[in-house]
């Protein structure tokens, strides 16, 4: 039996993970589950999976969690330090699926124990890739990607030496605004932005997909995870979201990973790695789909990919600043205070301003410095947003 | 330095192989080259690559070959037994690229020496798969596929256990007649049939592609080579010939092999295996291609795939009979004696008649019985063709 902890158990990835664990109760056991304010969902999951411990990030929710777990065998705990301690409990695999910079700590703590990490938390690599990778390397912890694109690259690379890889190509659906002209894009509403054509995801990541900011994060993650030079990573718009990534070799051969858009594939792949086990996902039927289409991303309407390339060139704290700024820009957009295209402007202004901060170019090798830059970048991004909203 | 022999050096695959060898003279040396009546091409290749020996299949051509090689360090030889002896010369890899049943012997002889076989000769697997595989296994010889579809499957499988494979899907361009109605198909001429939309190939294989007979051969080869049950092998029509094969796993993930249609990729992959080396083939640019389309093959207009499934179900000598009958049918079509759609009828009639022959169901585990059935099936197919042409 493989013993699993899930950090971010009540979110989209966490719930999909629990769905898969619940279908193979003989193969998997649950150690720790963590969540936020959705105590009912957290407690229900802990009961259903007989978790050792359930942790809410919010101390003020501890009483509710204790009440909801009354009579079960699951311990209740609360607060960021309790989450970090849960990450240190012995487990075979920790699913790092907390959204945002808060997901950094449990991933690092679990990796430091040598626990295999199934990594869905993009920020771990974008903000602090070198730190997480060095921590994992030192402890002998394996990191498995859970993002569909990175799982696709990982699977497409199987058996091949990175030395023979000429290019890695990740795909982007292009989101709901792929065909929108620039002037209409500027007036796009949050309700329009969350209507992702293919993937069922939370609101925040759906907006990030619509702006290609999510793909910008993927690009940075790809560089960190696989150690591929930025100029050898390409992004291809592919509206059907069937081909998730392609690995192009020096001999002209290209290995691609395809599948219907369903996060349970990438999650289940990580849970069962290095084996493959049957998963309840739809089977690919290309004759029914008929056509897969591809186009280059438009760098004018969607500047996020250019910003990602600037972040990769700058390194240091640029990833942490990019992530913090896009989070604040997203808050402002979702709250109706800035327009859709203003988000990239906020990120760009924040990157430009933060580049002058002492330590910006230093490697993200300590959590404290990453969190300091995250904090400062959020303030600067909020200033940039206010200035744009007032202008 | 890897020492290579090329059987069928003057054909399309052989010439492409020599092109690649010539580009990496430090990596490869040439042992034996064999050809047919094109003595000038054979001698030129032997001189250019400083081959140890050059062999023509035709004893009456030996004098010409000797003359053409005068003053070079290359020995000249002639006849089927000289080709078989050349296959027994020590080499690291033998490219088996003779077209037709004549390619069986050198592949078997080289495999029996433990030499790695780069297998382009489809008949080796279609007619006598169990014999070749058992010979290779006994001698510890590895067989690498050179057909684009089988190289694609081989590459897409890398690192994965066959146990996790749910389906293997090979693609077919659909050929020049993909959209033709049945009545027009019946009147198709050889000149129309050889115009393959994507691949540059010889006339015979181009016609086999137009009728999907080539894909029928691929289907049988896939079953033999990878040991996949027929019901788990699918054929998908894909007019752009960019996706060559897909391997679908039990977890819903699909690994595909893509690349511009250029045989030098599959050949170069085998020559360099298990490494990948840079090859002079075009790089895949999906944005420029724009769309990849897929459709199910039409079983009514193209009965070849149904016949292949009957061959796989029958086993025994059915593969040898199928191959012999399709060769004779092709001769008659190319000579204008039967129509395009009559080819499948000739194959089907021959299979039905040969099924009653003693030994039809026995395993093709001896070359003699395979060649006997090949011989008899050719006679029966010629009878069927004459009966159709006269009718």
pLDDT in tens, A220-258: 999 999 999 999 999 999 999 999 999 999 999 999 999
How large is the average pLDDT for residues B43-58? 98
Residues A137 and A161 in one domain: no
The nearest alpha carbon in chain B to A240 belongs to B291
* Touching A: B residues 71-100, CB under 8 Å: none
In this predicted structure, the answer to whether residue B391 has a pLDDT above a threshold of 80 is: no
Of B246, B249, B278, the CB nearest to A251: B278
Residues A7 and A140 in one domain: yes
Please, are residues B126 and B208 in contact by the beta-carbon 8 Å criterion? no
**Structural domain of residue B50, as residue ranges?**
2-145
Residues in chain B with CB shorter than 8 Å from the CB of A279 are 250-252
Q: Is residue B124 part of a domain?
A: yes
High-pLDDT (> 70) share of chain A, %: 98
Residues A80 and A187 in one domain: no
Q: Which of B169, B252, B257, B282 to mutate against chain A (most A CBs within 10 Å)? A: B252
Q: Is residue B52 part of a domain?
A: yes
Give the pLDDT score at B101: 82
Give the pLDDT score at B319: 97
Residues B76 and B137 in one domain: yes
What gap in Å lies between CA A307 and CA A226, rounded to an integer?
Answer: 20
Residues A162 and A254 in one domain: yes
In this predicted structure, the answer to whether residue B168 has a pLDDT above a threshold of 80 is: yes
Give the pLDDT score at B326: 97
Q: How confident is the model at residue A158 (pLDDT cuts 50, 70, 90)?
A: confident
Q: How confident is the model at residue A23 (pLDDT cuts 50, 70, 90)?
A: very high
In this predicted structure, the answer to whether residue B149 has a pLDDT above a threshold of 90 is: yes
Q: Is residue B65 part of a domain?
A: yes
In this predicted structure, the answer to whether residue A160 has a pLDDT above a threshold of 70 is: no
Residues B16 and B127 in one domain: yes
How large is the average pLDDT for residues B181-207? 85
Give the pLDDT score at B200: 62
What gap in Å lies between CA A389 and CA B145, rounded to an integer?
Answer: 62
In this predicted structure, the answer to whether residue B176 has a pLDDT above a threshold of 60 is: yes
Count of beta carbons in the 10 Å neighbourhood of residue B71: 6
> Taking CB atoms and an 8 Å limit, are B290 and A289 in contact across chains?
no
> Taking CB atoms and an 8 Å limit, are A260 and B252 in contact across chains?
yes
Q: How confident is the model at residue A159 (pLDDT cuts 50, 70, 90)?
A: low
Enter the ipTM: 0.95
Give the pLDDT score at A195: 82
Q: Is residue B306 part of a domain?
A: no
Cross-sheet strand order for the sheet of A243-249: A233-237, A165-172, A243-249, A254-258, B254-258, B243-249, B165-172, B233-237
What gap in Å lies between CA B172 and CA B390, rounded to an integer?
Answer: 33
Q: Is residue A298 part of a domain?
A: no
> Taking CB atoms and an 8 Å limit, are B251 and A159 in contact across chains?
no
Q: How confident is the model at residue B161 (pLDDT cuts 50, 70, 90)?
A: confident
Q: Which of A145, A162, A193 is the last residue of a domain?
A: A145
Chain centre to alpha carbon of residue A312 = 17
Residues B126 and B89 in one domain: yes
What gap in Å lies between CA A170 and CA A83, rounded to an integer?
Answer: 33
The nearest alpha carbon in chain B to A290 belongs to B294
Give the pLDDT score at A307: 98
Give the pLDDT score at B205: 85
Q: How confident is the model at residue B195 (pLDDT cuts 50, 70, 90)?
A: confident
* Touching B: A residues 145-174, CB under 8 Å: 155-156, 158-161, 164, 166, 169
Q: Which of B240, B274, B289 is the last residue of a domain?
A: B289
- Tell me which of A55-64, A96-105, A241-250, A252-261 is least confident: A96-105
Sign of CA dihedral A349, A355, A358, A361: positive
Query: How many domains does one find in chain B?
Result: 3
Q: Which of A286, A288, A294 to mutate against chain B (most B CBs within 10 Å)? A: A286
- pLDDT per position as a tens digit, B281-328: 999 999 999 999 999 999 999 999 999 999 999 999 999 999 999 999
B23/chain A closest Cα distance in angstroms = 13
Q: Is residue A51 part of a domain?
A: yes
Residues A60 and A139 in one domain: yes
On whether any CB of chain B is under 8 Å from the CB of A290, the answer is yes
Residues A155 and A124 in one domain: no
Give the pLDDT score at A197: 67
B262/chain A closest Cα distance in angstroms = 9
In this predicted structure, the answer to whether residue A165 has a pLDDT above a threshold of 80 is: yes
Q: Is residue B352 part of a domain?
A: yes
> Taking CB atoms and an 8 Å limit, are B287 and A236 in contact across chains?
yes
Q: How confident is the model at residue A389 (pLDDT cuts 50, 70, 90)?
A: confident
> Taking CB atoms and an 8 Å limit, are B251 and A265 in contact across chains?
yes
Q: Is residue A209 part of a domain?
A: yes
On whether any CB of chain A is under 8 Å from the CB of B245, the answer is no
Residues B167 and B253 in one domain: yes
CATH number for the domain that contains residue A350: 1.10.1740.10
What gap in Å lies between CA A155 and CA B373, rounded to an integer?
Answer: 44
Predicted TM-score (pTM) of the model is 0.95
Residues A320 and A348 in one domain: yes
Of B238, B259, B277, the CB nearest to A254: B259
- pLDDT per position as a tens digit, A168-223: 999 999 999 999 999 999 999 999 998 866 666 678 888 999 999 999 999 999 99
Count of beta carbons in the 10 Å neighbourhood of residue B346: 27
> Taking CB atoms and an 8 Å limit, are B155 and A253 in contact across chains?
yes
Residues A65 and A187 in one domain: no
Q: Which of A253, A272, A289 is the last residue of a domain?
A: A289
Q: Which of A244, A245, A251 to mutate against chain B (most B CBs within 10 Å)? A: A251
In this predicted structure, the answer to whether residue B160 has a pLDDT above a threshold of 70 is: no
Cross-sheet strand order for the sheet of B93-96: B75-78, B53-56, B28-35, B2-7, B93-96, B116-119, B143-145
CATH number for the domain that contains residue A84: 3.40.50.720
- Tell me which of A189-203, B133-147, B324-338 is least confident: A189-203
Give the pLDDT score at B100: 83
Of A160, A166, A265, the CB nearest to B253: A265
């Amino acid at each position: 039996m493989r013993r699993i902890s899930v950090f971010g158990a009540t979110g989209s990835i966490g719930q999909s993970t629990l769905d898969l664990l619940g279908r193979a109760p003989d193969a998997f056991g649950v150690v720790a589950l963590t969540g936020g304010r959705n105590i009912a969902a957290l407690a229900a999951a802990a009961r259903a999976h007989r978790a050792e411990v359930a942790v809410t990030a919010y101390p003020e929710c501890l009483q509710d969690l204790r009440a909801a777990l009354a009579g079960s065998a699951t311990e209740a705990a609360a607060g960021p330090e309790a989450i970090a301690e849960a990450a240190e409990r012995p487990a075979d695999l920790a699913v790092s699926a907390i959204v945002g910079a808060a997901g950094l700590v449990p991933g690092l703590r679990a990796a430091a124990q040598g626990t295999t990490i199934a990594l869905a938390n993009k920020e771990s690599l974008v903000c602090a890739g070198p730190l997480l990778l060095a921590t994992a390397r030192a402890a002998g912890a394996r990191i498995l990607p859970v993002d569909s694109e990175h799982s696709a690259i990982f699977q497409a690379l199987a058996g091949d030496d990175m030395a023979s890889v000429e290019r890695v190509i990740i795909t982007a659906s292009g989101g709901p605004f792929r065909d929108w002209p620039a002037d209409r894009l500027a007036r796009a509403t949050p309700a329009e932005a969350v209507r992702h054509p293919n993937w069922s995801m939370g609101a925040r990541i759906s907006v990030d997909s619509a702006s290609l900011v999510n793909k910008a994060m993927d690009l940075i993650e790809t560089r960190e995870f696989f150690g591929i030079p930025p100029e050898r990573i390409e992004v291809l718009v592919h509206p059907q979201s069937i081909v998730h990534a392609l690995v192009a070799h020096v001999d002209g051969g290209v290995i691609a990973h395809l599948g219907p858009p369903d996060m349970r594939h990438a999650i289940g792949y990580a849970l069962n790695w290095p084996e493959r086990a049957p998963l309840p996902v739809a089977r690919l039927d290309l004759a029914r789909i008929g056509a897969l289409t591809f186009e280059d991303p438009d760098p004018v309407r969607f500047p996020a990919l250019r910003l990602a390339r600037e972040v990769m060139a700058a390194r240091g704290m640029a990833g942490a600043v990019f992530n913090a700024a896009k989070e604040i820009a997203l808050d402002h957009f979702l709250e109706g205070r800035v327009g859709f295209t203003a988000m990239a402007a906020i990120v760009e202004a924040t990157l430009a301003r933060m580049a002058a901060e002492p330590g910006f170019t230093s490697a993200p090798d300590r959590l404290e410095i990453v969190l300091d830059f995250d904090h400062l970048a959020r303030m600067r991004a909020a200033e940039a947003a206010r200035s744009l909203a007032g202008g």
